[in-house]
Structure 1
Amino acid sequence: MTEPATGTPRRDRLRRSRAGRLFVPPSPGESTRIGEILRKETVGGALLIGAAALALIWANTPWRDAYTGLANLTVGPAALHLDLSLSTWAADGLLAIFFFVAGLELKREFVAGDLREPARAVLPVAAAVGGMAVPAVIYTVINLSNPDGLVGWAVPTATDIAFALAILAVIGRGLPTALRTFLLTLAVVDDLLAITIIAIFYTADLAVGPLLLALIPLVLFTVLVQRRVRSWWLLLPLAAITWVLVHESGVHATVAGVLLGFAVPVVRRSPGDGPGLSEWFEHRWRPISSGVAVPVFAFFAAGVTVVGQSDLAATFVNPITIGVVAGLVAGKAIGVTGATWLVQRFTRAQLDESLRWVDVFGLALLAGIGFTVSLLIGELAFGGGTEADDHVKVGIVVASLLAALLAAAVLRLSARSRAVASD
């Protein structure tokens, strides 16, 4: 059916009307896939919270030395320089799975998802940039008098999607589904920016030889997946070799996961081919990422001892701790909300009729839950087990709890007022 005057299909007219609004629901083809991702990430978020809570409790009991001993237990072949502690294996190895899935999701969103349309991509991209820039500035300003702490400027820039979605699942009843979709899309862009920051700013010593050698298995992996090869006995060894060589190069090994994810094709060869290879990989690896890799990393990274510490008060007033808390809670809220307002101001797009600005602010507060990647950046910046890294951990835990509580209060108040208005 076409418009009488222009012959424009109704579908195109609907697309134009949606482009003039912010936080529109996903297109029909994306709804089912996004719903499945949200369910898996929500379950993963619950496991993440449980693992972090267990680590915090164990690290503050009389058996805390057993926790520390487990985290520092070294395993792996020394000949390959892979005799690493369990906590390092979790950060460098298991999180590579997390970033592999992130790479799959990033490529799919920008190649075949809603973000391939510039009008729909501008908002989550702008919100992610604002949500990283403002926290970094706040942290830096607070630590100007503490030069040793400035290296941690990127700690409060990341959003933990699994943790945030788990909280949103509890407090988000009665809120439009567009909020969950936007939070997921925001986190996708956030992951891309985070891995870029890690690769550029937290690579201390670069060994060019291993990095160039890593291109060989990476190219072979790319050729095979482009030919739609799914044989694990071919792909998994190539992925493992790529990871080892990137690890040896001095670039954080999680970058290998993103590069491998980018190599996987998204578009199907023909409609009758069934799920695309990217979708096939994501279906198999996302449960491992959300259910195993991230919770295990959180278990080893979140354990910080505060009971019996004579200088506990000094930890809470340390510029690193204050910078992390202020950056995640205030910086994310200001950055995401401010960037959204600027997009609305300069594109003249309007909020979708199902949303209000208080919803946007509540979601921006929720983006202040920065756990997994923030903990990783803290370890890269200050070194695991250092006093500064303990300040980072305390700041992340406090900030994530504050962000969750404030977001719950704002979003529940919004949902309650929406329910009253509809009666």
Structure 2
Amino acid sequence: MRQEPAAPLPVAPVQRKRLPLRWHDEWTQFRTLLRRSFISKLRNRANLVITIGVSPILALLIATILRYSENGTYDFASAYHIPTFLFLGLIVAMFLGLTNSADDIIRDRPVLQRERNIKVRLSYYVISKMLTLGVFALVQCILFVLIGNSLLQIRGMFWIDLGIMFMTAMSGVALGLLISSLVADPKTAANIVPLILIPQIIMGGALIKYEDMNRNLTLLYSLSHWLTEHPDTDKTIKSESKLQVPFVCQFIAMRWSYEEMIVAQARLNPLTRRQDRANDEIQQLAPKANTPEQRARLNDLKDVLALLSGLEGRSAKEIDHYLKLVDPVIAGKQKFDASVFKDAKGPITAEQLYVNQKVSDLLSKAEMEQNDYRRDKKPNVFFGPQKRYFGFKFGMFTFDTSVLVASMLGLLVLLHWILRKQLEVRRS
């Protein structure tokens, strides 16, 4: 019998060898994208002047309008609008970040398509955009903080205010890049910016206080009231607080930035920061001060705390000098010498320079609400110094900063995914 020829075996798939990562080539590619991004921003001189000039103009305008004290003569302690200024500064940072980045990817989309065909890494493009826009945002924030804080006499808070403003601006940059990846023309992107910014203003916690806001925005609050027969009972009072942030507002970046800015102004100013450090040292040392050295150290800390509470001077510069002399004593590097501060007298007090009453009132109200003995557990209130989630306790600064950074990174990951999907569809 005639045998039919056997069918040919299927061709084995060709295995592609993964090329080794060449760090020099990767660095060259990233450096090229970064340089091109900077040149693209610097090429338009008129836009560059507007970008840099708008920040000091807004700082001058806002600070001049808000420079007001209830006693007539302006001084920082009784300045009425310091919380408003801090909030508007964050709004300006968010606005500048959004407007600087809302059309960047739209202009680069044809270039992105060409470079995708030659295997240019999309992650390098996103990082280069963030770095470039971050430099401009940093310059804008520096100018705003320098001018605004100088006019309103906010002393000793430059780096802290700059850091919080810069984080807010970078959140705006990430949002702007995301908008730019989703729309096709700059006009549409410009129209979307107010839709992002206005909720930040309304739900940021300054324009409308959370205790005056519609509580039905909080889903859990609505359900608890629907299930509770008598909402005004003591049980409900124990478990709820008017200073709790509505659920929908937790997704607003301005809510976290503003809270951090206010608490920083109240707790991290040069005077209160030293008072808190001395008080913490006293609380730790008092239960175990058994030796003569420990008792002497405890007395030094008490003397420092008493000095800080009534520190006076002839000028702001002199008070700053005395505050620096206190640092080695608090750190335990030297003994307290009262003779060094014998001339610490004058018409100006440290509290007048560093403690604003409006800011302090906001924080005091939050602390009283959080530590209310009638409640079974401490709620997470706005401006509260501590946050409790899932049985863990976090410091406010650590938690709020983590939320801002994590949300920004999440937006960048989403941006990278959107761009990759768009370029894959167009290439296919």
TM over 0.5: no
Structure with bigger helix share is 1
Please identify the structure whose Cα radius of gyration is greater: 2
Structure having greater relative contact order (Cα 8 Å, sep ≥ 6): 1
Q: Give TM-score scaled by structure 2 length.
A: 0.26
Q: Give TM-score scaled by structure 1 length.
A: 0.26
